[in-house]
């Protein structure tokens, strides 16, 4: 099965929180992506009947949200905030140094499949720039050295 | 975790205390006392009236009177109806709701209980932006604790009132902070804002009557109910009572959060509380309320931070996110950063917004690079004219205002780029 019974059960339990099952769609998409690395057309096809949707409708939701992807990416998502407050604190130079360190530019995945790098539009850490999000964790008040240590420690 | 504020008042007094995040620690500081009393002894109408008399303004950006908004909800017999807590906080320069979610989750739950009681909602959804994974974890833990203690679920605190809270995670989209886009997202759809009317109180989440309130707005409610409208009105201004959480970022010595009365002068916040501009430099401009709010030049910082005063200066309080720029800052680059954001985040539903945000970004980018012309600068104003008020939601206005204000107050920076063909602001931040 493209989506395991266990994951499917979790999705259905979550859906019960909403007056209509589709309210649980974002939670289901987060879950599938965490488990399988992406929400591929095959996953969308498997999810669609649970939500009384078509597979394309599911993918149309996926494509709207920055955190969801229909294509597998690196094992870790690294996002540097480059909005105004962070830019004023040097976040754009910081991002370039991260790019040099990893040997990739924003939007790319490292050759070993470890890291996908991107920049992001304000993560609500404006007083602690530069900062980056690694998967579900924030790292704040960074400099190039401390950021390198965080990145090098990722598996 | 978000760092505790430099200056605290009733909302954030205990935020530095880790125990405050759990139910026992919260109750040790008097938490849930207002709910205990109000759910048993006050009618829903009485709760609503108290909040209305307090004059609590929404803290999500638009500043709408909370009690008035609640009064638009139909009679409680019309079930189900919902309370939706807007925890999407994605206005750049804003980071206050993250603090309240991560460090005072039960304060929010108490506010939710009281608001839900006032409007007669049996279920609430807390819609938290996807990137705030930590906040979602903390909130879910608090909801579970409250359930176990009988503070959520059936017959809350023995009052006969039943209430459930669902923690929902967004998935990365600025527009989902706009209340009707949020409702679409909550229903598992693309976050496209809805045409109003119908307003959420008529038809909101899952086609049912709903009230959408910001995190901070709801966090003020237990304090109002506990201590009364008159107490609440004793801080802040006549029209804008209470404190708020100002977030200061950019070129200041002490960036961070400051809980201060509404109406605190902007220059006092910057120079006294946030320690002034770093490296002994001078201020060039300040965005007073999150990226969407028009910038104020250095000469206009003697303004009280409340909508009635900021509006006289052509700006607004927004989310209270104050972004300070020093005298090295290139305002054309600032325009590039701002317009890049709106271009990326426009949902694309309305033509003027989709095309306008991209066009503005193209133009300011070429001006920054030195290939822009004097006509380009006029064109920018025309594009703003074509966006403001021309779309389903206020995103297009939010994208046009900052550009218009930058041109108004810092036209010389743009002209200098056009004339010199390069950015000659040495020491400005890099793109
Ligand atoms: C583009 C846009 C983005 C918004 N983002 C947020 C947000 O992140 N959080 C929020 O509380 N309100 C946001 N708002 C305001 C909401 O639409 C709504 O006014 C608010 O949630 C109502 O709550 P309040 O009355 O308690 O302030 C946004 C509005 C617009 C137009």
Domain B18-233 -> CATH class:
alpha beta
Report the pLDDT value the prediction gives residue B201, as an integer from 0 to 100: 97
Confidence of residue B78 (pLDDT cuts 50, 70, 90): confident
Question: Domain boundaries in chain B?
Answer: 18-233, 243-326, 331-420
pLDDT of B278 > 90? The answer is no
Q: pLDDT tens, B190-202?
A: 999 999 999 999 9
Report the pLDDT value the prediction gives residue B166, as an integer from 0 to 100: 98
Confidence of residue A20 (pLDDT cuts 50, 70, 90): very high
Confidence of residue B79 (pLDDT cuts 50, 70, 90): confident
Ligand 1 pocket mutation, candidates B62, B114, B192, criterion most atoms within 8 A of CB: B62
Question: For ligand 1, atom 6, which residue shows the shortest CA distance?
Answer: B177
Ligand 1 pocket mutation, candidates B51, B61, B348, criterion most atoms within 8 A of CB: B61
Q: pLDDT tens, B84-96?
A: 999 999 999 999 9
Residues of A in contact with B97 (CB under 8 A): 124
Question: For ligand 1, atom 22, which residue shows the shortest CA distance?
Answer: B213
How far is the CA of A20 from the CAs of A23, B83, B188, in angstroms? 6, 16, 9
Q: Is B199's C-beta closer than 6 angstroms to any atom of ligand 1?
A: no
Asked if B255's CB is within 8 angstroms of A19's CB, the reply is no
User: CB-based burial of residue B422 (10 Å sphere; 0-12 exposed, 13-18 middle, 19+ buried)?
Assistant: exposed
User: Which atom of ligand 1 is least distant from the CA of B129?
Assistant: 8
Q: pLDDT tens, B129-183?
A: 999 999 999 999 999 999 999 999 999 999 999 999 999 999 999 999 999 999 9
Chain A nearest C-alpha distance from B229 (Å): 31
Question: Domain boundaries in chain A?
Answer: 5-64, 76-152
Q: Is B388's C-beta closer than 6 angstroms to any atom of ligand 1?
A: no
Q: Which residue has the tokens 């709408």?
A: B64
pLDDT of B77 > 80? The answer is no
Strand, coil or helix: B46: helix
CATH topology of domain A5-64: Arc Repressor Mutant, subunit A (1.10.10)
**Residues B297 and B409 sit within 8 Å (Cβ to Cβ):** yes
Asked if B249's CB is within 8 angstroms of A88's CB, the reply is yes
Report the pLDDT value the prediction gives residue B76, as an integer from 0 to 100: 75
Put simply, whether B133 touches A (Cβ < 8 Å) is yes
Dihedral-angle region of residue B9 (phi above 0 means left; psi in -120 to 50 means alpha; beta otherwise): beta
Chain B nearest C-alpha distance from A72 (Å): 17
Report the pLDDT value the prediction gives residue A42, as an integer from 0 to 100: 97
Strand, coil or helix: A144: helix
The total of other beta-carbon atoms located within 10 Å of residue B3's CB is: 18
pLDDT of B75 > 90? The answer is no
Percentage of chain B exceeding pLDDT 90: 97
Asked if A127's CB is within 8 angstroms of B95's CB, the reply is yes
CATH 3.40.30.10 fits A76-152, yes or no: yes
* Averaged pLDDT of chain B: 97
Residues 2-41 of A with CB under 8 A from B: 17-20, 22-27, 29-30
Percentage of chain B exceeding pLDDT 70: 100
pTM for this prediction = 0.98
Pick the CATH number of B243-326 from 1.10.3720.10, 3.50.50.60, 3.40.50.1000, 3.10.20.600: 3.10.20.600
Asked if B247's CB is within 8 angstroms of A126's CB, the reply is yes
Residues of B in contact with A123 (CB under 8 A): 131
User: Is the complex ipTM more than 0.95?
Assistant: yes
Least confident of A7-21, B114-128, B401-415, B417-431: B417-431
Q: pLDDT tens, A28-79?
A: 999 999 999 999 999 999 999 999 999 999 999 999 999 999 999 999 999 9
Ligand 1 pocket mutation, candidates B179, B242, B247, B346, criterion most atoms within 8 A of CB: B179
Q: pLDDT tens, B317-370?
A: 999 999 999 999 999 999 999 999 999 999 999 999 999 999 999 999 999 999
User: How far apart, in whole angstroms, are the C-alpha atoms of residue A93 and residue A89?
Assistant: 9
Q: pLDDT tens, B379-431?
A: 999 999 999 999 999 999 999 999 999 999 999 999 999 999 999 998 999 89
Put simply, whether B259 touches A (Cβ < 8 Å) is no
Pick the CATH number of B331-420 from 1.20.1440.230, 3.30.710.10, 3.40.50.720, 3.30.565.10: 1.20.1440.230
How far away, in angstroms, is B44 Cα from ligand 1 center? 25
């Amino acid at each position: 099965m493209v989506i395991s019974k266990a994951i499917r059960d979790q999705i259905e339990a979550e859906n019960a929180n909403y007056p209509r099952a589709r309210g649980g769609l974002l939670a289901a998409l987060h879950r599938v992506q965490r488990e399988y690395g992406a929400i591929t057309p095959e996953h969308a096809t498997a999810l669609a009947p649970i939500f009384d949707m078509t597979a394309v409708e599911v993918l149309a939701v996926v494509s709207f949200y920055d955190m969801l992807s229909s294509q597998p990416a690196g094992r870790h998502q690294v996002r540097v905030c480059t909005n105004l407050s962070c830019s004023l604190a040097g976040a754009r130079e910081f991002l370039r140094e991260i790019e040099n360190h990893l040997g990739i530019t924003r939007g790319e995945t490292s050759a070993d499949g470890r890291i996908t790098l991107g920049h992001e539009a304000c993560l609500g850490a404006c007083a602690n720039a530069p900062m980056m999000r690694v998967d579900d964790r924030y790292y704040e008040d960074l400099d190039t050295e401390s950021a390198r240590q965080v990145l090098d420690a990722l598996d | 975790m978000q760092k505790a504020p430099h200056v605290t008042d009733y909302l954030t007094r205990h935020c530095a205390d880790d125990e405050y995040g759990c139910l026992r620690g919260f109750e040790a500081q008097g938490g849930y006392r207002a709910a205990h009393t109000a759910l048993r002894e006050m009618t829903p109408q009485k709760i609503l009236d108290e909040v209305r008399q307090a004059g609590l303004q929404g803290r999500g950006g638009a500043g709408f009177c909370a009690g008035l908004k609640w009064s638009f909800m139909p009679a409680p017999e019309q079930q189900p109806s919902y309370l939706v807590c807007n925890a999407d906080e994605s206005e750049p320069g804003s980071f206050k709701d993250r603090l309240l979610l991560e460090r005072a989750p039960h304060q929010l739950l108490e506010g939710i209980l009281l608001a839900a009681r006032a409007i007669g909602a049996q279920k609430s959804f807390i819609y938290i932006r996807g990137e705030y994974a930590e906040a979602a974890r903390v909130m879910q833990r608090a909801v579970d604790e409250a359930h176990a203690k009988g503070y959520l679920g059936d017959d809350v605190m023995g009052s006969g009132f039943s209430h459930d809270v669902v923690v929902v995670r967004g998935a990365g989209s600025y527009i989902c902070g706009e209340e009707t886009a949020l409702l679409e997202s909550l229903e598992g759809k693309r976050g496209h804002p809805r045409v109003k009317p119908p307003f959420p109180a008529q038809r909101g989440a899952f086609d049912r009557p709903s009230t959408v309130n910001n995190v901070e707005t709801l966090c003020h409610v237990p304090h109002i109910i506990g201590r009364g409208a008159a107490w609440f009105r004793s801080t802040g201004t006549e029209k804008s009572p209470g404190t708020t959480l100002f977030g200061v970022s950019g070129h200041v010595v002490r960036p961070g959060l400051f809980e201060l009365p509404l109406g605190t002068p902007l220059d006092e916040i910057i120079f006294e509380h946030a320690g002034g501009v770093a490296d002994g430099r001078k201020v060039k401009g300040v965005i007073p309320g999150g990226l969407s709010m028009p910038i104020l030049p250095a000469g206009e910082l003697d303004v009280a931070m409340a909508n009635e005063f900021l509006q006289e200066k052509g700006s607004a309080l927004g989310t209270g996110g104050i972004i300070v720029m020093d005298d090295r800052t290139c305002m054309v680059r600032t325009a590039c950063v701002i317009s890049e954001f709106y271009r990326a985040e426009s949902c694309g539903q309305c033509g003027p917004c989709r095309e306008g945000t991209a066009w503005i970004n193209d133009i300011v980018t070429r001006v920054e690079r030195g290939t822009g012309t004097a006509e380009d600068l006029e064109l920018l104003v025309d594009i703003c004219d074509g966006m403001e008020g021309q779309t389903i939601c206020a995103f297009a206005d939010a994208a046009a205002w900052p550009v218009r204000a930058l041109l108004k107050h810092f036209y010389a920076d743009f002209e200098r780029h056009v004339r010199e063909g390069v950015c000659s602001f040495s020491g400005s931040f890099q793109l």
